[in-house]
Every structure is written in C-alpha cells, then in structure tokens.
Amino acid sequence: MAATPSNMLALGTKAPNFRLLDTVSGKKLSYDDIKGKNGTVVMFICNHCPYVLHVNGEIVKIANEYLPKGIGFVAISSNDVENYPQDAPELMTEQAKRVGYPFPYLYDETQEVAKAYKAACTPDFYVFDKDNQLVYRGRLDESTPKNNQPLTGKDLRKALDFLLEGKIIPDNEQKPSIGCNIKWKEPPNINLQKIDFK
C-alpha cells in the first residue's frame, strides 16, 4: 500500500465551501450544514484504504465524544470510482451504516473539494474553529496498520481539547497524516478559482 503524507494546508486558511451528496441521507450538504458551533472536523477517507479501515473505530469514538461538545464532523471521499469501483457512492452508503458513522459521508465526484483542501491521502484530517479558520491538520495519532503503535486518536483529541479551551497547537507540533494517496482522475484539471472559501 502506498504511504502518502498530508500536504499540511496553511494554518489560518478559511474552510473551502462545498455542496456534496451525502451518501447516507441522499441530500446535498454544504460546509454550513455540517459545521459545529465550536468547531468542525473535515476528514478525507474512503471505503477500501487499509489506513482508513485501521482508524474507523477510533474516528467513530471521537465523533461520538465531541459531537455533544459542539464539534461538527464530516467525512468526504474523493477517489476516482471508475478505476476504484469499491469506493462508489452506493458502497459508501453501506460502509457508513456498517461502521456506524455518526456524521455525513459525502461524495466528491469532481474532486474539486479535495483539491481545494489540498488533501493528499486517506485519512487526512482538518480542524476548523468556530470562525472557519484552520487550526489543525494532519494525523489522528502515530498508529498505522503495521507499526504496532496503540490507536488512541491522541493528536486529534488534543487538537479538539485545545480548541475547546481556546488554545491552539503550534504548527511545529502538528504531524502529517500518512495513508493511501487519493486516487485522482486523469487528467486532474480542476479550476480552483470556482471554489467559494468561507
């Protein structure tokens, strides 16, 4: 499996807006629809990546813990489903129900949203504050499928705890996520000028 690190979008970046199909509810949802009053977690994941399968349970735990604290959560899959049919929207629906995602699971068919967030891998995590400014990006924790490190979600948990306490983790203490590369369409001809930043 390919090991690709996060691009580490600049802190302070305004959350790029989106309007994407939620494969669970069948509705189109925007950033405003999913944002939390105290902050928002945007995750790029997919159905089949071993790195995502490794952390799915912990993602669900964290979301269930922090949703009542006013943190919004959303997962987005941007993979090319023509070449990777296991990531097709109908299978996203099945995956969300099987794993028990307590958040929307959106399908980024054009891949414009992944490019706006400069997402590189699955999983890739972004935390925005209540003003939609990026305060954390990178990994869930140091655990990967083969490194035998405990899966705790400690890096993302720390970012969320700091956010709720009005503190920010310094840039030099934020570590990139590692995962499978996003499966880009060919050619990836995306016009980022069309993206509406919040």
Q: Which helix (H) or strand (E) holds 107?
A: strand 105-107
- Domain of residue 48 covers 4-194
Q: How many CA atoms lie within 13 A of 47 on its CB side?
A: 21
Contacts of 145 (CB under 8 A, 6+ apart): 1, 50, 51, 53, 54
pTM over 0.75: yes
CATH of the domain at 68: 3.40.30.10
| pLDDT tens by residue, the chain, 198 residues | 568 999 999 999 999 999 999 999 999 999 999 999 999 999 999 999 999 999 999 999 999 999 999 999 999 999 999 999 999 999 999 999 999 999 999 999 999 999 999 999 999 999 999 999 999 999 999 999 999 999 999 999 999 999 999 999 999 999 999 999 999 997 545 454 444 545
Number of compact structural domains in the chain = 1
